[in-house]
Chain A
């Protein structure tokens, strides 16, 4: 079985298609999220609806593309070290896809926040019980930093001869970091006795969720681009044209 594409769909076009869908999801949120009947289905701030399913689908695509990157690497260079890293990346992305739909991180953070640790965290960060689940970004920050470092190092090891891809691979990580930072800000804003913290919250959550969607689209592009690039690279190598 060949994992190298003969006439691949241009990666940049794949990204633009996803980008258009991202913008479409954002537009549906802006247009319909306040509708009492169908608003919840399009609301970026809600769970188990179109945006979360779409986000899960995006991460699933990232994972699948990651697996093909592994296969294409293995097929091209039998002895290339670290190819198994693609499987870990694919597994992580699959985890994100599942978490997007089932919100395991929220269940976990609720467990943490229900004890003394939660009391201390609420007090330290000055947030209320109603919004403390948004602190998951803080609680899981060490793990996320390690994962981010691992991903940067891994991409560097794969893309060092393709500067464009490497630089591109940093972008979704920046978007995800921005998204995490905004989620923390949302917890703080919702804890204020202000005029209408929901207005600011809605603005922030829109930017936060859109950043997450863009990040996922970029990951798809990067993985797919690498798959196509490596595929063509090995094909040409086999033919003695490189």
Chain B
């Protein structure tokens, strides 16, 4: 006869099992019967082509952005934020996925995203989603509409030098959507995720009245020595031709700045209207508001290194003028991030998605290359968030890959199989004019980029542009015959 199991062991075993099962059951019961805390809304505003140094909140002397300054008082203002790409499509796809262009597949305007987006995730977790874009390359063909229940494309009429009546169509569509959202009874209302892409600031700088004369008087059409036909400072093509030909008189530069600032002020007034509306709806406190741009803009900076294409614009120019972006994050009141501060450490737009995911109370995806900035928002004086900012894209089939540290910037260009590189010492050459000869640094950064690229992986599929997209890119000055 086998020995009989000892009673106390038997009891202990069962007690342990029942206790564990009971604890699990109790936790499940509290989860299932509990009420879901109200998740914050998310308003993501991407201001195309906006340089931070033209915003009052970043120290600009002209009053271009009183509404953003006001928002800044409730927000964390990131003083050194950099984009991962200088083209709108790749950069926006990063803002919506938290992945580098090679990872999400939209490496150039006209390409299509190949991974799920934040909107899809939020839509699946019960968010009411809407997207309003002002640029064709961010429209349905790009795949960035995925996850948005409502998605609208509103081109900016003034960029075609048409009548100015449609300049505000995107803003009006956004406010209209928000108004309809408020009509849903509070108890059955889902939190919203609204993405508003604003194209107004992008060239051509041609704001409607009164913004066209708010920061200076603008000349009308006129003859310009060496310029074929009449010169119109409000026309991006005229401006580019005259500038590249070296025949643009300096007085026009002030006019261009005034027009650029006018566009910013127009946008800022509209944003003020939206923020006021959120307040009157009672939704401001429970809404995470993010204001960020996809890239900056070169406004008459000249670079002697010869690495970049000359003239105005931003694409494929990896100077701080086109890479530094404003990034303002207003948390919801429930986040209890009460001590609003300016964050001085370098951050990247790749960090935005993990930050937002954490602020919305969702688990931070393991595969995202960015880091959540919430910890830095809790302790603004903490150590460097990242020592290197990486960037990468393939505008017009030319591959650019690079990194930026506090002191150095290193860019590799691969065109038709030929590789060239640029090394800038940002401390001793802040205007980014000269290619540094440091072989040690070059080797170090080459190795860093190689390792980063290897770790990053790639979806590596490039598709042919559709005719409609080709036309849209030509219209936007991104594609030439």
Contact = CB atoms under 8 A, between A and B. Distances in A.
A241 B365 CA distance: 64
Contacts of B2: 80, 160-161
A116 B32 CA distance: 8
A191 B362 CA distance: 10
Contacts of B31: 120-121, 124
Contacts of A149: 13-14, 16-18, 20-21
Nearest to B35: A120
B367 A194 contact: yes
A129 interface: yes
A143 interface: yes
A18 B36 CA distance: 47
A25 B126 CA distance: 39
A123 B33 CA distance: 13
B367 A145 contact: no
B180 interface: no
A141 B24 contact: yes
A139 interface: yes
Contacts of A141: 21, 24, 28
Nearest to A82: B5
A194 B365 contact: yes
Interface stretch (B95-103, B149-157, B206-214, B327-335): B95-103
Interface string A142-155: 11011011101100
A126 interface: yes
B120 A193 contact: yes
B25 A142 contact: yes
A130 interface: yes
Contacts of A77: 1
Interface residues of A, number: 40
Nearest to B39: A123
Given A121-B32, A160-B5, A192 B115 contact: no
A192 B36 CA distance: 20
A105 interface: no
A188 interface: yes
B443 to A, nearest CB: 29
B368 A194 contact: yes
Interface string B249-274: 00000000000000000000000000
Interface in B23-41: 24-25, 28, 31-34, 36, 39
B449 interface: no
Interface in A156-209: 156-157, 160-161, 188-189, 191-197, 200
Contacts of B34: 120
Interface string A18-30: 0000000000000
Contacts of A117: 32
Contacts of B17: 145-146, 148-150, 152-153
Contacts of A194: 99, 115-116, 365-368
A122 interface: yes
A122 B125 contact: yes
Contacts of B120: 193
A195 B18 contact: no
B440 interface: no
B21 A145 contact: yes
B421 interface: no
Contacts, number: 117
Given A138-B28, A149-B13, A156-B13, A195 B20 contact: no
A123 B367 contact: no
B376 interface: no
B152 to A, nearest CB: 22
Contacts of B20: 145, 149
Contacts of B99: 194-195
Contacts of A200: 366-367
A128 interface: yes
Interface string B207-227: 000000000000000000000
B121 interface: yes
A119 interface: yes
Interface string B346-383: 00000001000100011101111000000000000000
A69 B427 CA distance: 80
B22 interface: yes
Contacts of A197: 116, 365, 367
Nearest to A115: B32
Given A119-B36, A121-B31, A143-B21, A193 B13 contact: no
B103 to A, nearest CB: 5
Nearest to A143: B21
A91 B108 CA distance: 60
A119 B33 CA distance: 10
Contacts of B14: 149, 153
Contacts of A188: 363
Contacts of A123: 36, 39, 125-126
B13, B22, B117, B118: which has the most chain A beta carbons within 10 Å?
A: B13
Contact of B32 (A120, A148, A150, A152): A120
B457 interface: yes
Contacts of A156: 5, 9, 13
B376 to A, nearest CB: 22
Given A117-B32, A194-B115, A142 B24 contact: yes
A126 B362 contact: yes
Contact of A152 (B13, B125, B365, B366): B13
B3 A161 contact: yes
A126, A130, A161: which has the most chain B beta carbons within 10 Å?
A: A126
B3 A193 contact: no
Given A142-B25, A146-B18, A149-B17, A193 B115 contact: yes
A117 B249 CA distance: 69
B22 A191 contact: no
Contact of A146 (B21, B97, B98, B126): B21
A235 B44 CA distance: 78
A146 B32 CA distance: 20
Given A149-B17, A197-B116, 5 more contacts: A120-B33, A123-B126, A145-B24, A148-B17, A192-B368
6 contacts: A119-B126, A149-B13, A191-B125, A192-B365, A194-B365, A195-B459
Interface of A: 77, 80, 116-117, 119-124, 126, 128-130, 138-139, 141-143, 145-146, 148-150, 152-153, 156-157, 160-161, 188-189, 191-197, 200
